Amino acid sequence: MHNFIIKYLFQGNFSAPVEEKLTLGCKVLDVACGPGTWLLDLATIYDKSNFFGLDIKPVFPKEIKPCNLEFIEADIFDGLPFRDNEFDFTHIESMVNILTTEQWNFTLSELIRVTKPGGYIEITELYLNIDKTSPNFYTIYKGCECIHFLL
């Protein structure tokens, strides 16, 4: 459901300026991908790009999926099983109220580690109730305030 709401609000699957990269071919990671709805949609549209979904529970499809999409069962808190600077676009959604501040700090560090310089990290949430005392979250919070002001 969350994916469809975000798609409606953004009039697409993402807000980061990555359309050209996706069209030409790039690497995309979705952390805590769940059933992979977001990735299945993108992998079907952008066949020159490679997509990777990671989740601790294997609720994603194992057999029927586009050939440019791979799902990996793994726990982010063991560290993302990828090299540094591997992805052009990393994505996470619907986790802000699930993870603790410490878990978020680790998760953000891992997203930064695996995202290429000049790449994009997109965090999409429908409801933000974040700890403004964490340095990482304070920066995100202030950015959200600016975006809210612009809207």
Range of the domain at 32: 2-150
Go through 56-90 and write b for each residue having 16 or more CB atoms within 10 A of its CB, e for each that does not. Answer: eeeebeeeebeebbebeeeebeeebebeeebbbbb
- The C-alpha atoms of residue 126 and residue 10 are separated, in whole angstroms, by 12
pLDDT of 148: 44
pLDDT of 129: 56
pLDDT of 3: 66
Q: Please report, in angstroms and rounded to a whole number, the separation of the first and last CA atoms in the chain.
A: 23
Count the domains in the chain.
1
Give the global pTM: 0.80
User: Residue 94 sits in a domain of what CATH number?
Assistant: 3.40.50.150
Q: Which tokens in the block code for residue 148? A: 């809210």
CB atoms within 10 A of CB 149: 7
Q: Which has the closest alpha carbon to 38: 80, 81, 88, 91? A: 91
Bridge partners, 29 (sequence order): 52, 90
Please give the chain's pLDDT, 151 residues, in tens.
566 666 776 677 888 999 999 999 999 999 999 899 999 999 999 999 999 999 999 888 888 899 999 999 999 999 999 999 999 999 988 776 677 778 888 999 999 999 999 999 998 876 555 555 556 556 666 665 544 444 4
